[in-house]
Chain A
Amino acid sequence: MLSFIQDHWSDILSRAVEHAWLAGLPLVIGLLISLPLGWLARRASWLRVILVGGSSLLYTIPSLALFVLMPLIVKTNIVDPINVIIAMTIYTLALLVRTVADALGAVSEETTQAAIAMGYTPIRRFFGVELPLAVPVISAGLRVAAVSNVAIVSVAALLGIRQLGFYLTDGYQTTYWAEVWTGVVACLVLALIFDLVIQLITRLLTPWQKAAVS
Chain B
Amino acid sequence: MIRFEQVVKQYAGGTTAVDNLSFEAPTGQITVLVGPSGCGKTTSLRMINRMIEPTSGHILIDDEDVQTFNAAKLRRGIGYVIQHAGLFPNKRVVDNVATVPQLLGTPKAKARERAREVLELVGLPGDFADRWPSQLSGGQQQRVGVARALAADPPVMLMDEPFSAVDPVVREQLQDEFLRLQRDLGKTIVFVTHDIDEALKLGDQIAVMRVGGKLAQLADPAYLLAHPIDDFVAEFVGRDRGYRALTFAETPPLPLATEATVPLGTTPEQARAATDDEWLLVVDKDRPVGWIQPHVIAAPIESAMLHRGGTVARASGPLRSALDAALSSPSRRGVIAADDGTLLGTVRAHQVLQAIEATERPEVDKADIAPQQTSEHVDLSLDK
Interface residues of A (CB under 8 A from B): 110-111, 113-121, 124, 129, 132-133, 206-208, 211-212
Quote the shortest CB–CB distance from B383 to chain A (angstroms). 46
Residues of A within 8 A of B49 (CB): 117
Size bracket, chain B contacts: 20 to 34
Residue of A nearest to B84 (CB): A110
Residues of A within 8 A of B80 (CB): 114, 117-118
Of B72, B84, B131, the residue contacting A119 (CB under 8 A) is: B72
A133 to B87, CA, bound (A): 12
User: Does A208 lie within 8 Å of B99, measured CB to CB?
Assistant: no
B147: interface (CB < 8 Å): no
A208 to B92, CA, bound (A): 8
Residue of A nearest to B46 (CB): A117
B372: interface (CB < 8 Å): no
Residues of B within 8 A of A208 (CB): 89-91, 132-134
B51: interface (CB < 8 Å): yes
User: Does A118 lie within 8 Å of B75, measured CB to CB?
Assistant: yes
Residues of A within 8 A of B131 (CB): 211
Q: Count A-B pairs with CB separation below 8 Å.
A: 67
Residues of B within 8 A of A132 (CB): 90
Residues of B within 8 A of A206 (CB): 90
Decide: A129 near B135, CB < 8 A? Known: A114-B80, A119-B100.
no
Residue of A nearest to B100 (CB): A118
B236: interface (CB < 8 Å): no
User: Does A117 lie within 8 Å of B75, measured CB to CB?
Assistant: yes
User: Does A118 lie within 8 Å of B132, measured CB to CB?
Assistant: no
**Can you report 8 A-B residue pairs in the complex whose CB atoms are below 8 A from each other?**
A111-B87, A114-B80, A117-B51, A118-B75, A119-B77, A129-B90, A208-B91, A208-B133
Of A111, A120, A121, A124, the residue contacting B89 (CB under 8 A) is: A111
A212 to B90, CA, bound (A): 11
Residues of A within 8 A of B72 (CB): 119-121
B73: interface (CB < 8 Å): yes
Of B84, B85, B88, B133, the residue contacting A115 (CB under 8 A) is: B88
**Residue interface bits B59-100, CB-to-A below 8 A is 1, else 0:** 000000000000011111100101111111111000000011
B148: interface (CB < 8 Å): yes
B274: interface (CB < 8 Å): no
User: Does B75 lie within 8 Å of A212, measured CB to CB?
Assistant: no
Quote the shortest CB–CB distance from A111 to chain B (angstroms). 6
User: Does B103 lie within 8 Å of A118, measured CB to CB?
Assistant: yes
Quote the shortest CB–CB distance from A170 to chain B (angstroms). 48
Q: A117-B75, A121-B72, A124-B103 are in contact. List 18 more A-B contacts (CB 8 A).
A: A110-B83, A110-B84, A111-B86, A113-B51, A113-B82, A114-B82, A117-B158, A118-B75, A118-B100, A119-B73, A119-B75, A132-B90, A133-B88, A133-B89, A207-B132, A211-B131, A211-B135, A212-B134
